[in-house]
Amino acid sequence: MSKHSTLIKPPKALPHHSPMESVLSLLRLTDIEPDLFTNARPLWHPPGARGIFGGAAIAQCLSAAQATIPPDFTVHSMHCYFVLAGDSSIPVLYHVERVRDGRSFITRTVQARQRGRPIFTTTLSFVKEKSGGNVKAEHFVPMPTDVRLPITKPGEPHTKKVHNWIRARGRISDHPTRDFPPGDPSTTTTTNNNNDDDEPQHTDNHQAHLSALAYMSDSYFIGSVARVHNIPRISSARTIERALAAFKGSVDEKEEMRAYLERLAAEDAEELALTGGADDGRRIGMMVSLDHSIYFHNPRSFRADEWMLAEVNSPWAGDGRGLVIQRIWSKDGILIATCIQEGLVRLNQTRQHKI
């Protein structure tokens, strides 16, 4: 791991913080800019990926934006673009722009930068609590009931759905951490609310759960395009070795990653066998996310450290790109998020021999 992956030496993990809160924690750099933040801890670079995990950029941008709004506003949508691959060996700076502060809605843009260049950009909209009135139009898609079998049944690609149970590891703390002296390496926080004395104070830590949900929303997402076409994510032992060769981590972390990748390869083989799908030899050449949108529903009605069901399907793929749609329900069956992502999905091409 690089010694310069954070701007300031990573602080000690707070005992009441979950691993997810520690991973997503930010430092506020008020001495440089009032709405400037940086990652408090190194960001994960998945083996075989071009850069840092996209979910980390999504979640930390959300955390930075949440730090600039009153506590009675909650995010309802964010629209993101992946511009460049993030480098896990250097810090990320998050610049928040206060686009508009209205009575019912607040708009923020956040740009993640490395070496002065934007690697990720997002626009977020926040809505004031209980601003919709007492009389409402309400409905939601119910949670699937036949989710015990994780294996996709045979069918046309656009009809296949992938189900995953997800949750943040460790219990997320129940109370938000208050502001700390800017740049103080002894303390950290996942959110830094603009806690003016005349603003109503919330004692729940819903912002941390929203950031954790945003982080997990990018897991196995665009990869679902390959799964509905029965294209394995990991095609051979050589693929694993190449990924491990580029993996930045300790010897123990590398062994853990090897076991993880071998488990993914085994899952691919098992799924292919159980669905009766045929391996036609097609392989992924490049797969990266291009954009990512999240619509948050019922933001205070779930905990990200409890089980949630994610259902992903792909309505379209073509011209080297793929589109995926994800719905996420709480363990109580409440629809809490709808996500849409388009990504680059290029397959290895057969070489054409010259005549």
| CATH code of the domain containing 111 | 2.40.160.210
185 within some domain? no
**This prediction's pTM:** 0.80
**3 state SS for the chain:** CCCCCCCCCCCCCCCCCCHHHHHHCEEECCCCCCCEEEECCCCCCCCCCCCCCHHHHHHHHHHHHHCCCCCCEEEEEEEEEECCCCCCCCCCEEEEEEEEECCCEEEEEEEEEECCEEEEEEEEEEEECCCCCCCCCCCCCCCCCCCCCCCCCCCCHHHCEEEEEECCCCCCCCCCCCCCCCCCCCCCECCCCCCCCCCCCCCCCHHHHHHHHHHHCCCCCCCHHHHHCCCCCCCCHHHHHHHHHCCCCCHHHHHHHHHHHHHHHHHHHHHHHHHCCCCCCCCEEEEEEEEEEEEECCCCCCCCCCCEEEEEEEEEEECCEEEEEEEEECCCCCEEEEEEEEEEEEECCCCCCCC
Provide the domain limits for residue 164. Answer: 19-132+146-176+200-231+282-347
Quote the percentage of the chain above a pLDDT of 70. 75
Answer whether residue 184 shows pLDDT above 60.
no
Mean pLDDT of 198-219: 75
pLDDT score at 132: 78
- Give the residue from 305, 249, 283, 304 showing the smallest Cα distance to 46: 249
pLDDT band with cut points at 50, 70 and 90 for residue 151: very low
Q: Is residue 319 situated within a structural domain?
A: yes
| 254 domain-assigned | no
pLDDT at res. 119: 97
The pLDDT value recorded for residue 326 is: 95
Q: Does 95 map to a domain? A: yes
How many separate domains does the chain show? 1
- Mean pLDDT over 27-32 rounds to 92
Identify whether 264 is part of a domain.
no
Predicted confidence at residue 149, as pLDDT, reads 41
pLDDT, one tens digit per residue, over 72-112 is 999 999 999 999 999 988 999 999 999 999 999 999 999 99
pLDDT digits (tens, 9 = 90+) for 258-303: 887 888 778 777 777 766 666 667 777 788 899 999 999 999 989 9
11 in any annotated domain: no
9 in any annotated domain = no
245 within some domain: no
